[in-house]
């Protein structure tokens, strides 16, 4: 069976999750169960449970070294071979992996979303379709402030400090240049109806093959 892996990359809070989730939600009722699966790159942040909490707050979470991309690659390869995998789950408030894992079964279409997917050449080789969500950075910052305070247990000063220290510089060093590795660049983030419909049509076409 041919399986297709679609990568959705872009800045933090650019709308990657919304874009991915919208495609999934709009297709899921029309398709056989198990036709599509989603994985988040964030699930592959390195486990830091051996480090004190204060130490974990100092990690640069926007640098490729923060991720276990080798594990992600091996999981993608296993899924492509038709084997299920145990995907880690991540706790942003604790800055480390949770004890549970999530079983992901091999689907014909696998969508993966995350900030640094297209900046790692070895990882990029795993993707059949590469999409970059291109949202202005000031919009991303506003969305991130709101989301991190409401959903990720952060304070306003900590969001501002982290943004200046790592999020913004790493965006320019790694994420923005990776846009050139994309097949499709999607403006206006997670609500670009034309882009969502194009990806949906491509998925439906691939599922008919
Ligand atoms: N086009 C958009 N218009 C308004 N809000 C958006 C848009 N795209 C994303 N959001 C909101 O911004 C926040 C971050 O979006 P999300 O999809 O989680 O970003 P990412 O996965 O890239 O970090 C979420 O609260 C989401 O609902
Ligand atoms: N402990 C952590 C781990 C990650 N982050 C930030 O998450 C961002 C990536 O996730 P998105 O959903 O926003 O794409 C990344 O920019 C990290 O800075 C964190 O703050 N704490």
- CA 145–ligand 1 middle distance (angstroms): 11
Q: What is the pLDDT along the chain (209 residues), one digit of tens a residue?
A: 899 999 999 999 999 999 999 999 999 988 888 899 999 999 999 999 999 999 999 999 999 999 999 999 999 999 999 999 999 999 999 999 999 999 999 999 999 999 999 999 999 999 999 999 999 999 999 999 999 999 998 999 999 999 999 999 999 999 999 999 999 999 988 899 999 999 999 999 999 87
pLDDT attached to residue 144: 97
pLDDT attached to residue 189: 84
Structure letter (DSSP) for residue 175: I
pLDDT mean across residues, the chain: 96
- CA 113–ligand 1 middle distance (angstroms): 13
Give the predicted TM-score (pTM) of the model.
0.97
Tell me the CA distances in angstroms from 208 to 33, 52, 72, one per residue in order. Answer: 15, 50, 28
Is position 7 annotated in a ligand binding site?
no
User: Which atom of ligand 1 is least distant from the CA of 113?
Assistant: 21
pLDDT attached to residue 34: 85
CATH top class, domain 4-208: alpha beta
Helix, strand, coil share (%) of the chain residues, nearest 5: 50, 20, 30
Token pair listed for 34? 């198990």
Torsion, CA 121, CA 106, CA 89, CA 39, rounded to 10: 50
116: three-class secondary structure by DSSP: coil
45 in contact with ligand 2, CB cutoff 6 A: yes
Which numbered ligand comes closest to the C-alpha of 48? 2
Is position 98 annotated in a ligand binding site?
no
pLDDT attached to residue 95: 95
- According to DSSP, the β-strands at 85-91 and 96-104 are antiparallel
Cα–chain center distance at 196 = 16
The full set of domain ranges for the chain reads 4-208
- CA 121–ligand 1 middle distance (angstroms): 26
16-28 and 193-208 helices cross at what angle (nearest 10)?
Answer: 50
Is position 11 annotated in a ligand binding site?
yes
Task: Label residues 70-95 b or e (16+ Cβ within 10 Å = b).
Answer: eebbebbeebbeeeebebbebeeeeb
Is position 12 annotated in a ligand binding site?
yes
pLDDT attached to residue 59: 97
d(CA 190, CA 150): 19
- Give this complex's ipTM: 0.98
- CA 101–ligand 1 middle distance (angstroms): 25
113 in contact with ligand 2, CB cutoff 6 A: no
pLDDT attached to residue 31: 87
């Amino acid at each position: 069976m041919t399986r297709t892996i679609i990568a959705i990359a872009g800045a933090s809070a650019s709308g990657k999750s919304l874009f991915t989730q919208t495609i999934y939600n709009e297709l899921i009722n029309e398709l056989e169960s198990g036709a599509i699966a989603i994985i988040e790159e964030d699930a592959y942040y390195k486990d830091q449970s051996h480090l004190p909490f204060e130490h974990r707050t100092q990690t640069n979470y926007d640098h490729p070294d923060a991720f276990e991309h080798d594990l992600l690659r091996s999981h993608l390869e296993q899924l492509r071979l038709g084997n299920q995998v145990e995907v880690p789950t991540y706790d942003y408030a604790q800055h480390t992996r949770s004890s549970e894992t999530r079983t992901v079964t091999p689907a014909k279409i696998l969508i993966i979303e995350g900030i640094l997917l297209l900046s790692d050449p070895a990882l990029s080789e795993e993707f059949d379709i590469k999409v970059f969500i291109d949202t202005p950075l000031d919009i991303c910052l506003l969305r991130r402030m709101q989301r991190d305070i409401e959903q990720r247990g952060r304070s306003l000063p900590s969001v501002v400090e982290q943004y200046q220290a790592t999020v913004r510089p790493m965006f320019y060093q790694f994420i923005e240049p990776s846009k050139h590795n994309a097949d499709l660049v999607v403006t206006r983030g997670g609500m670009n109806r034309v882009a969502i419909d194009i990806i949906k049509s491509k998925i439906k076409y691939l599922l008919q093959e």
